Amino acid sequence: MITAKRQLLSFLILVVICVSALATEPNETKTELKFEINTRVRSKGLMKFTGPVKPKYVAIFTMSDLSRIRRELVWTDYPALAKMILATTTGQSMSEIQKELLKADRVISTSTSSVREQMYSVQKTEFGLYAFTVDDAKNMTQALIEILTTIAREKQPPMLEKFMNERKQKLQILQEGISDIKNKLIEMEPEFKSRESKYKTIKNTDRYRTLSDSKANEKARETIVQMNKMLSILDIELAGIQEKLVVIEQYRESGKFSKATLEKLEQMFVEQMVELRGAMARKDAAIELRNQDKQFCDLYNAWHSLEKEVKFLRNRLRNEEKRVRSYEEGTANPHPELLPPKVLQNKVTIYPVLAEE
């Protein structure tokens, strides 16, 4: 599956590069524009003209993202743009009155709007080209597109190549990082499974089974604290009992007491021995319980710390793979500003304009 995706990506990249290469060919096949004549007079958003020659038509069309081309061709430098239009073959075929109109007045209006297309924010530019006749409007449109295409031929292929190289390098870095993460996970897997198995074994005992992992760990830690306190108390208690036994034994061996007293001392000795055995049993039970909970905490911490690391690496792996898919998609579908300019839908609508009073 992954191999198929890589092959598809390679094919798409090749297609994009080939399209870029074709844009540099002098004999490329031009897309024919569809000129539509709309008889409805256009009156909104029109430019004002001060010269003696007034345009009678306006050609309206929208072009793909021209952000990078706009950096090379400044719309505000109208005299330079007018000269460029007049220097084209199509521009030279315009009527003389259109040429005069082009020299005398600004006959190009633009407005941009940002839209979201796939993964990009794209700036589309709507052009309004004013002309004296319908043929002049068509020629003006062809001349401007010829200029934009010429700039694109010079600037866009190197930019696209740079874009592809940068993406290729970034993809390589990401894929190397993914490989490192996978290797780490493979190395950690046996140890993680071993720790998890040991922890789950003790977790499934009656003492912890009904509790969540965190609650069971919390309970075990609390029990360890309680048992430590109890063991301290038992140590004090045992010390007292043992001291009593020493004193009783000394009295029994002294021979200074009556038979009745010795019998009483014997009884006290037995009672203290019982207390001693009971205290020692409680101490052993407390130690065993503490050790059991300490073992649980140790196994929990060993498993949990590694689990957090494994989860972190797995999340990182998912994120990096997501980034790779995003980069692959971006590589196969470059930003429109990196591709040859085009008139959207190849459609140009020519309207008559409202005559000024």
Q: Are residues 120 and 223 in the same domain?
A: no
Same domain, 17 and 119: yes
pLDDT of residue 18: 35
Residue 192 sits in the same domain as residue 161: no
E-assigned strands of 138-250? none
- pLDDT band at 349, cuts 50/70/90? very high
Same-domain status, 19 and 88? yes
More confident residue, 327 or 276: 276
38 and 118 part of one domain: yes
- The answer as to whether 325 is a domain residue is no
pLDDT of 1 reads 41
Q: 141: closest CA among 130, 132, 153, 157? A: 130
170 in the same domain as 221: no
Per the CB < 8 A criterion, the answer to whether 238 and 326 are in contact is: no
Report which of residues 79 and 205 the model is more confident about: 205
In a domain, 116, yes or no: yes
Q: Which residues touch 325 (CB under 8 Å, ≥6 apart)?
A: none
User: Do 248 and 134 sit in the same domain of this protein?
Assistant: no
pLDDT of 211 reads 92
Q: What is the pLDDT of residue 318?
A: 94
Of the segments 4-18, 71-85, 96-110, which one has the largest average pLDDT value? 96-110
Residue 104 is assigned to a structural domain of this protein? yes
Residues β-bridged to residue 58: 130, 351
Co-location of 347 and 243 in the same domain? no
pLDDT of residue 196 exceeding 60: yes
Q: What is the pLDDT of residue 71?
A: 61
The verdict on residue 166 lying in a domain is yes
* Band of pLDDT at residue 279, cut at 50, 70 and 90: very high
- When mean pLDDT is compared across 20-34, 259-273, 280-294, 335-349, the lowest value belongs to 20-34
157 against 235, higher pLDDT: 235
Q: Comparing 71-75, 191-195, 196-200, 222-226, which segment has the lowest mean pLDDT?
A: 71-75
In a domain, residue 140? The reply is: yes
Higher pLDDT, 119 or 202: 202
Are residue 309 and residue 343 in the same domain, yes or no?
Answer: no
pLDDT tens digit string along 16-26? 333 333 333 43
Q: Does one domain contain both 156 and 253?
A: no
Paired sense of beta strands 120-131 and 34-37, if any: unpaired
Collect all residues with Cβ–Cβ distance below 8 Å to 199 and sequence separation of at least 6.
Answer: 299, 300, 302, 303
Q: Structurally, how many domains does the chain consist of?
A: 2
pLDDT digits 0-9 by tens, 148-192: 888 777 766 777 777 788 888 888 999 999 999 999 999 999 999
Report pLDDT for 162: 79
8 A C-beta contact, residue 9 and residue 330: no
Could you tell me if residue 124 is inside a domain? yes
Contacts of 181 (CB under 8 A, 6+ apart): 313, 316, 317, 320
Are residues 170 and 289 both part of a single domain? Answer: no
Per-residue pLDDT reduced to its tens digit, 70-96: 666 555 577 888 888 999 999 999 999
Are the C-beta atoms of residues 22 and 28 closer than 8 Å to each other?
yes
The pLDDT > 90 percentage for the chain reads 49
**Average per-residue pLDDT for the chain:** 83
Range of the domain at 237: 188-320
Q: What is the pLDDT of residue 315?
A: 95
Give the domain CATH number at 257. Answer: 1.10.287
Do residues 127 and 66 lie in contact, with contact meaning Cβ atoms separated by under 8 Å?
Answer: no
Task: Examine residue 275 and state whether it is found in any structural domain, yes or no.
Answer: yes
Confidence at residue 120, expressed as pLDDT on a 0 to 100 scale: 67
Any domain includes 291: yes
Question: Does 100 lie in the same domain as 46?
Answer: yes
